[in-house]
Chains A and B, each alone.
Chain A
């Protein structure tokens, strides 16, 4: 992951955070990863339509800046817990799309050897302790990982991603309270995409902003434009610094939007086409970031085309890898339920 870097020169001090903090190479890589997330999910959706992937999936298309902005300031050994809408978090934390596709295809080369699928995608080696099928299920687990970090003095910061729906679960409140009283190195990241399945936050949540909940647990509550990479990265950077300094947790509310439905069964009856179109046309996180990069002379159209091409190839290779990978043996059906004793 990124290594913090001082401002390049004094005249750049008015630039947004990311352009002061990260090198042009790093920023181009962020763009590439945002494309990788989007194309991965489009590839997964396409494979699902073709019947190559069964079950269901929850796509985060439109939320790429949030995943990348939060993970960019993290170290490789920092940890995350993720959600049912977790493909972006997984890629942002460093996962290989080959093994993610393989997991979705139910193959042994997948991150979970075909046992977890989309909803339990994980990459423990890169610090991703797993997506979660239970809303808010990962939040207390992240607090536990942060407790390990503090007790074992590993210096790790733990990020707990969750959606707006999770903020009305008891686990959210219990976890925030414990993280605060024990001053644990954890960052709570609420990706508020406006809807818990079909129910808007306005209808489900008594406070205007989910970040307002932070006051109840004596921690900073920060609201960011989740579609603005730099703004998200700045908040995550500050929260990680605070966590590493032993000052405790932060709640970041990243306001964003999912273009696709909740899952594959969604008929989009709870929101208008105009609302969706407005976000896609005017607030797309990749388009916004790309425009900024061009404006600051970090990339040109040719460079962008090269990024897109290389991502396209990586996705095609990933799908091919998944197709060619072996399926699990039925004779291994009950493996991994318990730890095999040698």
Chain B
């Protein structure tokens, strides 16, 4: 029998994944600030506390460092915690446990333990929450061997990647763009996984490869649609995972299109765009390039409050259209 596919929001898809995992495995439980009766700051856990009780949908005090450490300790001793940071910005408070402990414990102990830990990070700008609640810090964690770092862009992937993360024996950090939570899309019922470390070609094309992450995948697809009206055939790759990163899919695409544009919301320099560009520069795809690689990323500044300023800080569809058009036409 085919699995039924319904329209769910990205937040509902995550919630469904957590509920399925908790039903299937006693060891899976949720920890975070105000994830119980409140339902989470973005209503991702919603009413799960009513189904699973406060032992398995645990409100923590506002103690990101200690809470992250408790999750690490529970993970190495047989549980499967899913820890929600209320905002990804608060990763800054938990970094010690994430970077020094979770990421390195297996290695430091010579493989004697695994750390099957999932951490969820509501990320990104666009909500008017200003500089301390709007950052995109995934590259920080992507720089740490021992962690896996993913950025689902669709409800389908949000569920499938989360279920893959829960089953994974190592710590997986999931960055969820807050503006995606309400986005709807087809989500199969029941259990399925999306592999960590595999990019997805969202739109095939011959003239240019756009490598995008998270919400920028949708903006890139919109831009590609606009440009198809001008006769341009643009390929859009949803990177999905930044550690491990899918070199093969990106390299093969660039060999086909000979042009690369990287689009991501995080601050432009020293981030995903640099990594993807270097990946191409170091590969056989370099010889296929017909134009310099272009990066579109966040401005080198904190996210401002004013909505117009806020939008101007991160790439928008017209920016992508313009950069892509110039690249295809050989303007630069």
Contact = CB atoms under 8 A, between A and B. Distances in A.
Contacts of B73: 81, 129, 140-148
Interface in B40-96: 55, 60-61, 63, 65-79, 81, 96
Interface string A41-80: 0000000000000000000000000000000000000010
Contact of B78 (A152, A170, A181): A152
B233 interface: no
Contacts of B111: 113, 335-336, 339-340
B36 to A, nearest CB: 14
A203 interface: no
Interface in A175-222: 175, 177-178, 181
Given A115-B109, A130-B109, A151-B55, 20 more contacts: A79-B77, A112-B112, A113-B111, A116-B110, A120-B108, A129-B73, A129-B77, A137-B69, A139-B69, A141-B73, A144-B71, A146-B73, A152-B79, A174-B65, A175-B69, A175-B70, A335-B111, A336-B106, A336-B109, A339-B169
B74 A144 contact: yes
Contacts of A337: 106-107, 145-146
B130 interface: no
A79 B73 CA distance: 11
B170 A339 contact: yes
Contacts of B78: 148, 152
Contacts of B70: 140-141, 143-144, 147, 175, 178
Given A145-B74, A177-B63, A130 B108 contact: yes
Nearest to B73: A144
Contact of B61 (A110, A115, A174): A174
Interface of B: 27, 29, 55, 60-61, 63, 65-79, 81, 96-97, 100-101, 105-114, 145-146, 148, 169-170
Contact of A137 (B74, B97, B114): B97
B66 A140 contact: yes
B75 A113 contact: no
Nearest to B113: A124
A171 interface: yes
Nearest to B101: A137
Contact of B76 (A114, A132, A141): A141
Q: Which 7 residue pairs across A and B have the least CB separation, nearest first?
A: A144-B73, A140-B69, A174-B66, A113-B110, A141-B73, A174-B63, A112-B110
B66 to A, nearest CB: 3
Nearest to B100: A134
A151 B70 CA distance: 13
A130 B109 CA distance: 7
18 contacts: A116-B110, A124-B113, A129-B73, A129-B113, A130-B105, A137-B69, A140-B65, A140-B67, A143-B73, A144-B70, A144-B79, A145-B76, A147-B73, A147-B74, A177-B66, A178-B70, A336-B111, A340-B111
A149 interface: yes
B77 A144 contact: yes
B109 A116 contact: yes
Contacts of B97: 137, 140-141, 171
A151 B57 CA distance: 13
Contact of A115 (B67, B96, B108): B108
Contacts of A341: 169
Contact of A110 (B101, B106, B110, B148): B110
Interface in A294-314: none
A111 interface: yes
Contacts of B96: 134, 137, 171
A266 B205 CA distance: 64
Contacts of B74: 144-145, 147-148, 151
Contacts of A113: 110-111
A141 B108 contact: no
Contacts of A141: 69-70, 72-73, 76, 97, 101
A136 to B, nearest CB: 9
B110 A336 contact: yes
A139 to B, nearest CB: 7
A337 B74 CA distance: 19
A133 interface: yes
Contacts of B60: 178
Contacts of B63: 174, 177-178
A122 interface: yes
A131 to B, nearest CB: 9
A178 B67 contact: yes
Contacts of A146: 73
A112 B113 CA distance: 10
B109 A112 contact: yes
Nearest to A179: B70
B78 to A, nearest CB: 5
Nearest to A113: B110
Contacts of A170: 65-66
A113 B113 CA distance: 13
Contacts of A130: 105, 108-109
Given A122-B109, A178-B63, A335-B111, A144 B69 contact: yes
Contacts of A171: 65-66, 69, 96-97
B192 to A, nearest CB: 19
B100 A115 contact: no
Nearest to A114: B110
Contacts of B112: 111-112, 122, 124
A337 B171 CA distance: 11
A81 B74 CA distance: 13
Contacts of A174: 61, 63, 65-67, 69
A152 B80 CA distance: 12
B194 to A, nearest CB: 17
Nearest to B111: A336
Please indicate which of the listed interface residues A124, A149, A341 has the most CB atoms of chain B within 10 Å of its own CB: A124
Contacts of B66: 140, 143, 170-171, 173-175, 177-178
Contacts of B110: 110-116, 336
